Amino acid sequence: MTSSVKQPADIRQVAVIGLGLMGAGIAELVARSGRRVAAIEINQTFLDQGMARLSASLDKAVSRGKLTGTARDEILARIRPTADIPAGVADADLVIEAIPERMELKSVLFAQLDQACRADAILATNTSSLSITEIAGGTRYPPRVAGLHFFNPAPVMKLIEVISTVLTSPETAETLTLLSRDLGKTPVQVSDRAGFIVNALLVPYLNHAVRLLETAQATREDIDKAATIGLGLPMGPLTLLDLIGLDTSLAVLEVLQAEFGGTRYVPAPLLRKLCDARLFGRKSGRGFYDYRHGTPAAATGDHDLAAASLPAEVAVIRDLDGLLDELASDIAAAGISVVPQPSPDTGLVIVAADPKHRVLDAALAVGHPADVAGIHFTDTGDGKHRLAELVLPDVTAAGTAAKATALAATLGLNAVTSRDRPGFLAAALAYAQFNDAVRMFQDGFAGPADIDTAMMLGCGYPRGPLQMLDDAGPAHVVSVLEAMHAATGDPAFTPVPLLAEYATAGIRFRS
């Protein structure tokens, strides 16, 4: 049984069980580090397929000049394929399990490992959704069992989540952390809970995006654009759902819902309906977008009809903070008449939109609610506007919406259109996730640095959610969340106590 921290040099023989896409990548990664690998599958057919997958990956690295032919041959020579589990794991210092996500399969396998492995061998599972505590509890030596969650493709992705159960020894966790660094990865430590760090933060955010779509808050394209242009994320949530697989995300949501309850993890009805229709995303050819004819094209609609709707006169209602001064100057420079208050000739009234308040209130105050569009700019943090959110109260006339869209296009703005709901698009998506991240820290499952690192390396975030929260200002985030909660009644948007405390005290989560 493991009783002391092992150094990376002590982990010389590794057994990888399950040679699917993830398992083959893990075996390749470990063999690249100079260690001997027993690559194990349950039968010869799966074993041959897994080794072919691994060899193809190495061949691709050679063709791209990232690996020499000699190095490829040396890596393959360190890998011993076998369909005999007891023989494959007998000499292993570490066993990494990467079989399908079914608890009954993993329970049977870990019972076999109990009998076949040395008592001091570490047993790690690559599960992304199942309870590692339950897996460990069924073994003879639960202190040596932990989670070692790689991200696909394992040879490329830098993140590894090292997951400890209440039974895992500190020495086991530390050994796996040191080994992860030796493999060239960045480990983050998290307690065993559904979704760990990445899936627990990512999947509810994706689900929220589906809710925004199904409630007609915005189009699918604008929801994705709000995330990429407004938040700087590498991919919009609906595009990412199609890439991950809608069925996969639905399964993770159900695991999260079973463990945590509450409304945040209840699958959006539209997500479930698409899964029922077997529209799983890219792998099925259709999801939120249609991939059957190559790269999906943007939907046609009001955005395309707006070209001829440019207003002759625009009323820009100046605010005390001067947020629209530059916009008014840009409109005038485009040759459009700008007035401070609406007149009979005004075709569009623009007011400053605040994600904490309804644009409708400002529209009513102006006295021309059907002609009003709100505009809200996101900020990169260096004072440059990245995204213009055009916010339309439900009383806004269709022609007014077209004029606002045409004006944004004329001014060269990166614009999206949103219904008049607190948070609009960018803040609604981001701030709810910030709240989840603070809850994770508050509940002791992971620290701020590990949370941010996990989302940056695992999801390509330019900044972690807690750093983004600090940049937005905790007090501002709290006020927007409170407005979202008041408008929807959804308790998921209630700021968690620690967030409210930090906002009141002016404390940052990342110093």
What positions carry a catalytic annotation? 128, 149, 161, 199
Q: Which amino acid belongs to residue 84?
A: D
- SS3 string, 455-484, reads HHHHHCCCCCHHHHHHHHCHHHHHHHHHHH
Q: How many CA atoms lie within 13 A of 285 on its CB side?
A: 4
Stated as kind and residue range, the H or E segment containing 248 is: helix 246-260
Separate counts of helices (H) and strands (E) for the chain: 22, 14
CA–CA distance, 50 with 92 (Å, rounded to integer): 20
Buried/exposed 266-278: b ≥16 CB within 10 Å, e otherwise? bbbebbbebbeee
Contact predicate 141/119, CB 8 Å: yes
Angle 415-419-424 from CA coordinates, rounded to 5°:
65
Q: Is 339 helix (H, G, I), strand (E, B) or coil?
A: strand
Contact predicate 343/367, CB 8 Å: no
Long-range pairs, 8-13, Cβ under 8 A, ≥24: 8/178, 8/179, 8/181, 8/182, 10/93, 11/35, 11/93, 11/94, 11/122, 11/175, 11/179, 12/36, 12/93, 13/37, 13/38, 13/91, 13/92, 13/93, 13/94
Q: 79-82 and 36-40 as β-strands: parallel, antiparallel, unpaired?
A: parallel
Contact predicate 310/271, CB 8 Å: no
Contact predicate 130/165, CB 8 Å: no
CA–CA distance, 401 with 391 (Å, rounded to integer): 9
